[in-house]
């Protein structure tokens, strides 16, 4: 598991420390990289937020075969999924070797 951020390194470090994250966190995503991930990109509405366009939250999970389990894209900074619940779901999928769904072609 890992996370990525559009924040520059110094701001990403502050976020990692304040959230007490224990996973690797990449930082300084370019707008091109954000778009490639399919993320919604917002312009700042206040200098208190940031000084550059930034990605709204995206959550992705892949299995050991590098197949997508799910993805979620958010356009707003509220009413987001409970990440703890998502982690429990991922663990259950792994422990039960649950197959990907929606693969009909």
pTM of the model: 0.74
Please give the pLDDT value at position 17: 93
Please give the pLDDT value at position 42: 92
Residue with the two structure tokens 């197949």:
67
Residue 69 dihedral angles phi and psi, to the nearest 5° = -95, -45
CATH number of the CATH domain containing 58: 3.40.30.10
Q: Domains in the chain: how many in total? A: 1
Please give the pLDDT value at position 23: 83
Give tens-digit pLDDT for 50-66. Answer: 778 889 988 888 878 88
| 71 part of a folded domain | yes
User: Range of 19's domain?
Assistant: 3-95
| 101 part of a folded domain | no
| 62 part of a folded domain | yes
For the chain, residues with pLDDT lower than 50 are none
- State the alpha helices, DSSP H only, in the chain: 9-19, 31-36, 83-95
As a whole number of angstroms, the distance between CA 1 and CA 37 comes to: 16
**Percent of the chain, pLDDT > 70?**
100
Distances (CA, A) of 44 to 19, 49, 60, 69: 22, 6, 24, 31
């Amino acid at each position: 598991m890992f996370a990525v951020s559009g924040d520059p390194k110094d701001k990403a470090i502050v976020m990692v420390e304040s959230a007490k994250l224990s996973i690797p966190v990449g930082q300084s995503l370019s707008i091109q990289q954000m778009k490639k991930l399919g993320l919604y990109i917002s312009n700042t509405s206040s200098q208190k937020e940031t000084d550059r366009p930034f990605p709204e939250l995206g959550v992705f999970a892949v299995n050991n075969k590098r197949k997508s389990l799910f993805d979620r894209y958010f356009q707003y900074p509220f009413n987001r999924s409970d990440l703890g619940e998502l982690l429990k779901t991922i663990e259950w999928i792994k422990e039960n070797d649950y197959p990907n769904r929606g693969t009909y072609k």
